[in-house]
Amino acid sequence: MAAVDLGTHPGHLARRLQQAHHLLWNTMVSEEITSPQFAVLNTLVAEPGLDQRTVGERVGLDRSTIAEVITRLGRRGLLDKVRDPRDGRRSLLRLTDDGLRTHRRLTVRTARMNQVFLAPLSGEERTLFLDLIRRVADAAEGLRDPGGPGALRTPS
């Protein structure tokens, strides 16, 4: 049996991209704050006072992962949880002053990192590349929802 060309396998290429991103992130952005943690900080800058479930949906993290990210950011003093005055079972999330400073600092670094990451592409290619991977990522979100339009179905 002949070997397959892994250059035609999107999962293989996505893993290689993720490895390159991880290396650049740790080198240029932060060894302490991960990319998903930054995504949560960024979401709470844009929409302060969201609950944990909504933040997880906004950044594409499942329930257990978002719970762990929120716990770690809380332990670092970057966000606070406050009881929702309209629903005492729910907590709302807000960045602390330290969380806002951290977000500001990392935003500048992520912009530089993204320039390096996308340097092999022209401006037009960058736009197309981001559009294409966003479309695939958005469609993949539907695979998580058993009743969603892109859900995996087993043959009958």
State the residue range of the domain holding 43.
23-119
CATH of the domain at 86: 1.10.10.10
Q: What are the tens digits of pLDDT across the range 6-34?
A: 998 999 999 999 999 999 999 999 999 99
Q: How many domains does the chain have?
A: 1
Q: Give me 82's structure tokens.
A: 């406050």
Let me know if residue 88 belongs to a domain: yes
Q: Residue 142 belongs to what H/E stretch?
A: helix 123-144
Residue 139 in domain: no
10 CB burial (10 A radius; 0-12, 13-18, 19+): exposed
Residue 132 lies in a domain: no
Residues whose CB is less than 8 angstroms from the CB of residue 151 and which lie 6 or more positions away in sequence, other chains included: 142, 143, 145
Q: 115: which 2 tokens?
A: 């320039």
CA neighbours within 13 Å on the CB side: how many for 155? Answer: 0
Find the radius of gyration of the CA atoms of the chain: 18
Tens of pLDDT, residue by residue over 40-95, are 999 999 999 999 999 999 999 999 999 999 999 999 999 999 988 888 888 899 99
- For residue 43, is it within any domain? yes
List pLDDT tens digits, range 93-116. 999 999 999 999 999 999 999 999
- Write out the H or E segment, with its range, that includes residue 79: strand 79-84
